[in-house]
């Protein structure tokens, strides 16, 4: 399976990393490294997370208060958002998974 980020999710990753970096040098890089590790886990274990109503799965980042919701469509894993656990819950659900 291939894994890709929706354009909005890519933008969120950049924005959140920049915000963390503005708070403390190196923190944005640590956030991106954590997201990268989570993405690697998803790529190796795409079906382990339970499927929620709406056909998505999600996984929490272990340290930062963010989660990655994703869809599995055919041979693709599509990350829909880099979402904060408590701010604007479910805002990303209107995004289409491409299929």
Whole-prediction pTM: 0.91
Model confidence band, residue 60 (pLDDT cutoffs 50, 70, 90) = very high
Mean pLDDT of 20-49: 97
Domain-located, residue 98:
no
Q: What average pLDDT is seen over the chain?
A: 94
Find the range with the poorest average confidence among 11-15, 27-31, 39-43, 84-88: 84-88
Cβ neighbors of 25 (< 8 A, separation 6 or more) are: none
pLDDT of residue 87: 87
Domain-located, residue 27:
yes
The DSSP letter of residue 90 is T
Distance between CA 82 and CA 99 in Å, rounded? 20
- Tell me the per-residue pLDDT of 82-91, one tens digit each, with 9 for 90 and over: 999 998 878 8
Q: The domain containing residue 57 runs over which residues?
A: 2-92
- Tell me the per-residue pLDDT of 18-34, one tens digit each, with 9 for 90 and over: 999 999 999 999 999 99
Largest Cα span, the chain: 40
| Total number of residues shown for the chain | 99
Domain-located, residue 46:
yes
- pLDDT tops 70 at residue 97: no
Domain-located, residue 58:
yes
Number of domains in the chain: 1
């Amino acid at each position: 399976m291939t894994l890709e980020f929706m354009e909005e999710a890519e933008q969120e990753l950049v924005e959140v990393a920049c915000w963390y970096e503005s708070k403390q040098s190196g923190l944005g890089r640590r956030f991106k490294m954590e997201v990268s590790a989570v993405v690697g886990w998803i790529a190796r274990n795409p079906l382990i997370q339970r499927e929620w109503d709406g056909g998505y799965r999600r996984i929490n980042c272990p340290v930062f208060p963010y989660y990655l919701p994703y869809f599995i469509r055919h041979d693709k894993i599509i990350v829909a958002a880099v979402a904060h656990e408590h701010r604007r819950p479910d805002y990303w659900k209107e995004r289409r998974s491409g299929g």
